[in-house]
Amino acid sequence: MEEWRAKAAECFPEFREIVDEARDPICLWIDLFMCLCNAYDLTPPNDDMIRRIYDFADWCFRQPETDSVETDLSSAVVVSLIESIPLDQRVAADLHRWFSIEDIKGFESLLRYHQIKEEYDKFLLDFIRKKAAQGNSRR
């Protein structure tokens, strides 16, 4: 079993079928983005699921790059998670709890992929305001 698939199965035992059926990391991350959005459908949101998704993203970012976009884990996270965050307002509005200001500034071009400049500027100001109110910790 590929290392990414084994790690995903460990992180998301309740999604074993999704993990097993994923053709590649990009397909898995498309499904995990939907799981992230679904975690916000609950009242209160499923913080445990949200945390595990972001923890798995962090793990993927720390893995060595590969020569193939289909197997490169950081590329999969970028394309299927980070670029999609602005598509769900609930996810975007809650990023201050999960990411640092440095993380968000590093993801600027990715987060702007689905936003015009004014939307991104508003998002960033809101993120910074919320982060300052929480004390600027990463999590």
Q: Which residues of 99-124 are buried (b: 16+ CB within 10 A; e: fewer)?
A: beeeebeebeebbbbebeeeebeebb
Q: What is the pTM of this model?
A: 0.92
Distance CA 80, CA 133 (A): 29
Residue 72 tokens read as 């490169």
Residues 14-59: tens digit of each pLDDT? 999 999 999 999 999 999 999 999 999 999 999 999 999 999 999 9
Residue 27 tokens read as 């397909």
Residues 48-107: tens digit of each pLDDT? 999 999 999 999 999 999 988 788 999 999 999 999 999 999 999 999 999 999 999 999
Our measurement of the distance from residue 133's CA atom to the centroid of its chain's CA atoms, rounded to an integer in Å, reads 22
Instruction: State the pLDDT confidence band at 137, using cuts at 50, 70 and 90.
Output: low
